[in-house]
Chain A
Amino acid sequence: MEVSLDKVNRTAAAIGVRNLTFAYTREPVLQDVSFTLQKGAVGLLGPNGSGKTTLLRILLGHLPLQPGQVEVLGHDMARQPRLARARLGWMPERGGIIPGLSGVALVSYLGELSGMPARDAMQRAHEVLDYVGLGEARYRKCEDYSQGMRQRLKLAQSLVHDPEWIFLDEPTSGLDPKGRAALLKLVQDLARNKGLGVILSTHLLPDVEAVCGEILVLRAGRLLAQRSVGARGRAEHQVFEVEGFGDEASFRARLTAEGAEVTQDGRWCLVTVKGGEGAALILRAARETSYGLRRLRRQTLSLSDIFYELVEE
C-alpha cells in the first residue's frame, strides 16, 4: 500500500510514517508500516514482540531508517532527528534513571540537555515534579524511589522541556492498581486538557481504553489497523445484529451496495456500518427490499473485542 505523505497536510499531520520496514538482523521487525497521526492520544497496541518499542525508537530517531520515510512534527527523521527530539518526550519502559542524582537534579539535568537554560530547567523541574506528585520526594536519590515513584519520575523527565508529543512505553508496568490509576489520570489530563500528543505503547487494553481516542494495532511487525476508539470510534464503526424474513439476498445486496459489511453469525447476520448513518441505513434497505425486520440490535464492542477480532483475523 503506497501512501504519499505529500498528500497529507504537513502542518496538521504531526507524525507520518510511510512504507517503513526495519530489521535488527535478518527477520524484519516492522514490515511496510504506514500511518499518519494528528495530535491526540494514540494507543499503540500489539502482542509482545509485535514491534511497538521498535516503532517508538524509530519515531525518536534512535534507529537508522531502512526502507521507509518518517516525519515527526515536520522533520524528516533520517536527516533532522535532533530537531524533532527537542519537541518530543520519551518515557522508556525499563530503567530510565541516572543513579546518584536526586529526582530534581535528574529532571533539571535532562531539561538542560533538551536545550533549556539552567535556571529555567531547575524551575521547570520543580513544577513538573509537583505535577506528577513527587514534590515531597524531589531531593531523594532516584535509585531509592519505589517503582511507582520511578514511573512518575520518568513521566516528569519526559515533560520537563514541554514537548509537543510524549511517547510512553508501558508506563504502568509494575504498578499496583492505585498507582496505575493515578498515572493514567495524569496521562489522560495531559492528552485531554493540556494539548499534548501522547503515544501510549502497551499491551494493557484497559489503559488504552482509559486514555486514547485512537489505536494502532501491530502484529508481527505489520500494522493491522488504525481506528478510532471510545465514543468517536463507536459512532464511526457500528455493528448491528439483524434478523428478519423475506428476500434476504436482496436485503444483503442492498446493504453491501450502500457500503455496509454483512456476515452471518449463527441465527442472525452482523451488519457493520461505517460512517455515522447506523440503523437508518439498515431500516432504509429493509424498506426498499420489503424485508421484514424481527431483530435489530446494536452490539457494544469493547476495545478488547476489537483488538482480539483484529489480532485473531
Chain B
Amino acid sequence: MPVYERGYKHWERSERRASPPWWVIARRGIAEPLKRRGFLLLIVLSWSPAVIKGGILYFKYKFGQLADLAGGDWTAIDAGGIYSFLKWQKYFVLILLAIVGTRLIAKDRLENGLALYFARPLTLKDYVAGKMLIILFYFFMVTLFPLYALSLFGYLVTSGQAGLDMLLLTPLRATVFCGLAGASMSLILLALSAMGLRAVFITVGWVLLYLGSEQIANILVLIEGGWMRVIDFPAQYFQAGAFLFGARTDPDFSPWVSALLLAAYTAAACWVLRRRIRPVEVVS
C-alpha cells in the first residue's frame, strides 16, 4: 500500500498560543550553532578574559599589592576598566559573528529559501528582526553577559566597596553601548550576508571589513597621520562610545565623525537589506 494512502488529515487547531514569526526565526537560529561542540568551546574561550579579570580582581582585594603586578586596566573595576574589557573582546566578536552571521541570509538565498519564508504570513521586518536577534544574542554572549557577571562578581568581591557604580551604572552604560553597537553591527553583517550566496566569500568580506580595515588603518596612520583611523571599522564603535564610559577618545578626529560614519554604514545596510531580501526566486 503506498504510503500516501495512510491519508491526509486536516489540522485541528489547539488552544496553544503561536509564537510571533521573528521569535520563531530567532529561536531556531540561536539554537542551531549550539549543537556544535567546537562552537561551545569557542564561547567558553570567549569568557576567559572575564574569568581572568575576575581572578585578578579577587587577588587584588584579597592580597593587596600583589595583583597590581598585572597593572593597567586589568585591575580597574570602574567604567574605564569595563571599556577596555570590551575592546579586548572585539576579536571574539569578529570570530563568533563570522561563524554565526555570515550564512544567515546567504543560505536562505542559495536554495531559494526566501520564497518559502515569504509564502508565510511574515513581513520583511519579522524576517530581519529574527535574524538580527540571532547575531545580537551571540554579540551579547561575548560582551554584555560576561560583563554583567564580572560586575556582579566585582561588587561581591569588594563587599560592596565598588558601590552602585559597579553594580548598576557601569552595566547600564555597557548595555546602551552594546545595544547600539550590536544592532548596527548585526545589520551590517546581515547586509553582507544578503549580498552573496557563498558563506566563504561573505566571511572573507567580514574579516576584511573588521580586521582588514584595522590593519590598513594601522599602516596609513604611520604614513598620513592619526586621522586615518577613520577607516578602522571596529575602532569607530569605541571612538563613538568612549564618552559613555568617560574614556579618552582619539584626539585626531571627533567621536561625532565616528557616530556619523556608523550611522551611514547602518543606513546603507538597511538599504541593502531592503533591496536584497525579496520573496522572488533566485537561480542558484
Chain A residues with CB under 8 Å of chain B are 53, 57, 60, 62-63, 82-83, 85-86, 88-90, 92-100, 109-110, 112-120, 124, 127-128, 130-133, 135, 143, 157-159, 161-162, 182, 185-186, 189-190, 194
Q: What A residues does B120 contact at CB under 8 A?
A: 85-86, 110, 113-115
Q: Is B8 an interface residue (CB 8 A)?
A: yes
Closest 3 CB pairs of A and B: A95-B112, A90-B119, A117-B16
A99 and B2 contacting across the interface, CB-CB below 8 Å: no
B24 and A109 contacting across the interface, CB-CB below 8 Å: yes
Is the contact region of chain B dominated by helix, strand, or loop, or is it mixed?
loop
Q: What A residues does B10 contact at CB under 8 A?
A: 162, 194
Q: Is B265 an interface residue (CB 8 A)?
A: no
Q: A92-B115, A95-B113 are in contact. Are A133 and B2 (CB under 8 A)?
A: yes
B16 and A133 contacting across the interface, CB-CB below 8 Å: no
B276 to chain A, nearest CB (A): 15
Name the residue on B nearest A120 (C-beta): B14
B121 and A82 contacting across the interface, CB-CB below 8 Å: yes
Q: What B residues does A62 contact at CB under 8 A?
A: 115, 118-119, 279-280
Of A117, A124, A194, which is within 8 A of B17 by CB? A117
B19 and A112 contacting across the interface, CB-CB below 8 Å: yes
Q: Count A-B pairs with CB separation below 8 Å.
A: 132
B28 and A109 contacting across the interface, CB-CB below 8 Å: yes
Q: What B residues does A119 contact at CB under 8 A?
A: 14, 16
Q: What B residues does A100 contact at CB under 8 A?
A: 32, 107
16 new A-B contacts, CB < 8 A, other than A97-B111, A162-B11, are A60-B119, A94-B283, A95-B113, A95-B115, A95-B281, A96-B113, A96-B116, A100-B107, A112-B19, A113-B25, A115-B120, A116-B11, A131-B4, A131-B8, A133-B3, A133-B4
B121 and A96 contacting across the interface, CB-CB below 8 Å: no
Of A88, A98, A158, A161, which is within 8 A of B111 by CB? A98
B283 and A157 contacting across the interface, CB-CB below 8 Å: no
Alpha-carbon distance A190/B284, docked complex (angstroms): 30
Q: A95-B282, A109-B28, A159-B8 are in contact. Are A116 and B18 (CB under 8 A)?
A: yes
B8 and A98 contacting across the interface, CB-CB below 8 Å: no
